[in-house]
């Protein structure tokens, strides 16, 4: 069986040009679609979301403020929404509604514990930082903060909630954090490890490495 190939004619030029243009458009649209799907899977469409979690006294607020200045992103302290003035605890249903509204925003840095709701926060974040520092250091920082700031309302304190003496219950929660909360946090980190940037900070070296890596986020935002 023979195949006859018709010689190319000048009249075929517009047709071939149209085919070329259509092919280019298909390639461009495919590239855009793949990029959008990848970004959606990583949770970074339209902005950057950084979740910081760790024990009380682990340095969440300090790190959040530092990253806010570096990245120019809005910073939300979960304690601001967990507590009413005079340290009155907000109802769970009310808090989780506000918590999820914050997580649904386009870009943010959210620092806090609230491990029961951490899965949702992690699912919306593109970067998760777990400050896994020693318990003794957390207790030291909690007591130091109390002595240094007693009676004042710091940036991370809820409005109308001055620094006060830590209760025995609170100190026990700090002491038992690794037993009560760390396993859940680690399970959630493992769950999202394939699709999120995850940093576990144990010491100053880890912190410096994390900050160097976070600098890349700023370049992505430009």
- Higher-confidence position of 135 and 1: 135
Share of the chain above pLDDT 70, in %: 76
Shortest CA distance to 56 belongs to which of 122, 145, 152, 124?
145
Give me the torsion for CA of 129, 130, 135, 137, rounded to 10°: -10
Instruction: Show Cβ contacts of residue 58 under 8 Å, excluding neighbours closer than 6 positions.
Output: 131, 132, 133, 137, 138, 141
Burial 184-221 (b: 16+ CB within 10 A, else e): ebeebbeebeeebbbbebeeeeebeebeeebeebeeee
What pLDDT score does 46 carry?
37
Ranking 10-19, 79-88, 103-112 by mean pLDDT, the lowest is 10-19
Q: Is the pLDDT of residue 19 over 70?
A: no
Ranking 26-30, 109-113, 138-142, 168-172 by mean pLDDT, the lowest is 26-30
> What is the CA 147 to chain-centroid distance, rounded?
31
Token output for 110:
């959210």
How many other C-beta atoms are found inside a 10 Å radius of the C-beta of residue 56?
18
Measured distance between the N- and C-terminal CA atoms of the chain, rounded to whole angstroms? 60
What pLDDT score does 41 carry?
43
Please give the average per-residue pLDDT across 10-29, as a whole number.
49
pTM of full prediction above 0.75: yes
What pLDDT score does 47 carry?
54
SS3 75: strand
H or E segment to which residue 149 belongs:
helix 135-149
Q: Are 178 and 139 in contact (CB under 8 A)?
A: no
What pLDDT score does 215 carry?
80
Condensed to tens digits (0 to 9), the pLDDT of residues 26-56 reads: 443 344 334 344 444 444 433 599 999 999 9
SS3 5: coil
């Amino acid at each position: 069986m023979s195949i006859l190939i018709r010689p190319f004619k000048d009249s075929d030029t517009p047709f071939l040009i149209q085919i070329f243009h259509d092919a280019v458009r298909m390639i461009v649209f495919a590239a855009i679609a793949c990029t959008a799907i990848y970004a959606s899977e990583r949770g970074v469409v339209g902005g950057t979301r950084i979740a910081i979690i760790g024990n009380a006294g682990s340095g969440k607020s300090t790190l959040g403020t530092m990253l806010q200045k570096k990245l120019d992103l809005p910073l939300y302290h979960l304690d601001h929404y967990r507590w009413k003035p005079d340290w009155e605890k907000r109802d769970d249903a009310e808090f989780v509604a506000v918590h999820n509204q914050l997580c649904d925003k386009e870009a943010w840095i959210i620092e806090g514990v609230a491990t029961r709701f951490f899965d949702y926060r992690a699912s919306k974040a593109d970067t998760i930082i777990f400050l896994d520092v020693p318990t003794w250091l957390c207790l030291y920082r909690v007591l130091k903060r109390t002595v240094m700031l007693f009676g004042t309302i710091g940036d991370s304190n809820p409005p109308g909630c001055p620094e006060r003496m830590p209760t025995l219950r609170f100190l026990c929660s700090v002491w038992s954090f690794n037993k009560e909360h760390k396993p859940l946090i680690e399970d959630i980190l493992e769950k999202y490890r394939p699709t999120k940037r995850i940093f576990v900070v144990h010491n100053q070296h880890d912190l410096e490495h994390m900050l160097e890596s976070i600098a890349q986020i700023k370049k992505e935002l430009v």
